Structure 1
Amino acid sequence: MAQREAQIALALAAIRIGEAKSIRAAQRAYAVPESTLRARLAGTTNRRTAHQYRKRLSVRQVVDWILEQDTQGFTPSHARTREMATRILRMNVVGRPIEAARINGTHPEAIQEFYLLYEDIVRRFNIQPCNTWNMDEHWTAVGVCTNSYVLASSSQRRSYVKSPESREWVSIIEIVSPAGGFARPLVIFKDTAPQTTHFPTDTPDWLYTTSENGWTTNSKGISWLYDIFIIPETQPKDGQWRLLIMDGHGSHTSTEFLWICKQNKVHLLFLPANTSHVLQPLDLGVSAPLKSRYRSQTVALASLDDALPIKKQRFVTCYNLALKKTFTPRLLRTGWQAAGLYPFNPSKGPNSSQVQAPKPRQSMPPPHQEINPIFTTPTSSRYIQQATKSIRKKAGEKQALYQALHKAGHAINSLDASHIALAHRNTQLQAQLDTIVTKKRRKVQVNPNTQFGNIDNITMARQAQALLEEKEASKQVKYDAMAAARELEEQSFEALQFEWQMDDF
């Protein structure tokens, strides 16, 4: 690898200083692929250097952890292995993974505009922190998928893991305030209607509903407004305005949803697309700790209860325990502070490590390669003239050769003009022929006792039409041959020959 990189470096240096006249010349001289040289000249680096920042993870640590889990009967899946590897990377001060759409779609200009709009709304409507809310819907898996591969020791053929059975998604709508307050969540199960078996004995005081796929809908969003957010117990005193910050999900942007909020003095502020990881307090404060604690509860429950399935009833129990540990005033305020909304700090979002401004790619253009017109096949008189000038510069004044090439250029121009005229004439004649000659069609014979033609009638008509087309095609070949013969008779013998004669010089 080191020797190959040294050869590439020498080839690039030869191109830059002009020692190699072209990329292909450098490729032949240093035995380096041409595609590699072009990529390096365009600004790319080798694969090892490009991925060096990711190699802070000790493979030995991950392998030891997999073997330890295997001996304990908790053979890890790929998802759990990735989670452990991510924790090791965090320990080594490596950033956590993030979706490419979030990075590419997060623009500092949109974030700054959001801060300006937020500041203007709070100032104009005199909205207090206790009347500012952030609402978000997130999805949580009830169980763990059973059809997943796991990682274990290579010395044994099969490994078994205690699993909380099949996975089922549940939607939860949460709402928090910078003053440390929060309202009860809305849980949406995947079912036709809530069942008594969904809930444990000590069911928490939440709101529960169902939908066909476990996701929210427009009607669910409106019901959430009436049953949670704008109930009389939560209305502010003295008719003050409230601010509700949320993403642009379709259930939040329906006309009825907007109208209900306007009637109840609720000002809506939507987050820009792909910025919830930077501007949404719920994501920055309690979302990650809540999901982590919920997963810990499900894993502990599976180990104690011998892999009993995590159904809706057990989900409510596990999620309730995780919610009580996570929704604390300190964590709730942390999310608003990290988003730069309370206390107001508009530099938080644009300066976040998860916001990357697009960097222009600096590419070095490949060296200019001059093409000698002498060694190219002339396609017009312009190339003949270029070759003539090049020969005169190198061979001196040879008037006879110059005149011969000059006349050859004129001859090519004349032939090109006649060729274009013939092609245009052929196109016109073909268009006229197409308008005169029409293909014969075969009528589908239908039995008068029936109203519609069947497949047998249509097949017979298609066969008859194919025979007619074959006869016409055989006649057309004869016509084309006769037309070509007449065209050759009209041309002179001199027009059909072209001679080149060049003396040594």
Structure 2
Amino acid sequence: MGLAAQLRAAKASDEVANGRSIRAASKLHQVERTYLRRRIEGIQTQEEYNKSRQKVTDVLEDRLAKWIVTQGQLGYAPPHARFRAYAQRLLIKSGSRERLGKRWVTRFLQRHHEVRTLKGRAIDYRRLNGATEATYEFGMMEGMGENSLVLGEAFKKFILLRDAFKHAWISVIACISADGRALPPLIIFSGVNVQQQWFPDTEDQPYEDWYFTASSNGWTNTDIGLKWLREVFIPHTKPANPREWRLLIIDGHNSYTTEEFMWTCLINRIYIVFLPSHSSHVWQPLDVGVFSVLKRRFRYWFRERCYGRSSEATDKTDFLWALATAWKEVMGVSRYIKQGFKASGMWPVDRDRALKSPYVKKSDGLDTPKSSKDLKILEKALIKVDPAFGKATGRLLFRKVGKALDISNSELTALENHNNQLTSALEKAHPKKLKKVETDPNQEFVRLKNVREVKAGLKSNL
């Protein structure tokens, strides 16, 4: 119903409250009698009922639609997950503790035809900044700059995404057990030596137990494979009974098939089982389920970490932060590891097991009044106390105040989001000194304490 019709209905309701009959008031103000009677009795229309069930108000949804268009024009069109996270943040800022459901984005798009899901094409940020209407060629980026589904303006067929990510090969050697445990990972960087500037200056606790090394191409080799066996696998899996044998199931990579590797396993009471060639996607518990979840979470956190940067400001600290966050979420939860063994048929022996990981969210009610929805509840409570609050003037006042609150909340959320992006970009723009990390003569790999010693030495020289 239009605004003019709503105003006529409000005036007719006031006429009935002053003693005029419903029939006369509806005829005088050209309002349908049934609608007027239902309005006076407090019965909602279907449109009003649907709006009352919306977790996000119309004003906030309009602001969200405009935000999508603006982000797309800047080259930062949000994927569904990021948009829902932004809307959830805005909802929390409005004072609501409700949680947006999995289908909320779909229903939002049904209500707002000015935006829709588009195919995002990643392009280097330099080309996007330098493109004009006369420029018609653009380059595709591989790696983290892969294409994805994002939200954008409805009249476009696809949208360009800024891609400022550097691309370098980094290997991770991981090992898990059937009881749900994961050994500390070994990170293999591309380079001659491990450098201290690859690590953060603060908040490095997640890497305390990790191992680090470097190779010319970022891949493992026979030397690294043997060192991993001696320094990582053997000490971290030592049984309580020294006469007990262990079982190591690995693929047939040439770094694990050397005589020295197999001899080291034999003298340390370790059985080796090599998986058949080209079958890790069937038999390997890591490849079957664990790595797919880990990679998905890593890509998500890496993009969130680098989101909004307008320059080529990503480095290995971003990689480590995203990997550590994803590692804690996946490898720190025994359920994922056990499901990987079940799905592969390794343990317990069963070929037909499938992965199942249900995720349940709790939905809470409203907290303190901070949005137009809270004012609506307050309005209904006041009308029960004094019907005078239900007159057209009172309802109009509540609507105006609620709209002002929603606009303020959306502007505050946008400013905080922009501030976070600028802060992250400034931190990455600060130059770092280069210095090699020396390893302990009694150790094969770089540990975090070695990195801390180098950083402490650099600080003392300032």
TM-score of the aligned structures, taking structure 1 as reference length? 0.39
Which structure ranks higher in relative contact order (CA pairs < 8 Å, sequence separation ≥ 6)? 2
The structure having more radius of gyration, on CA atoms, is 1
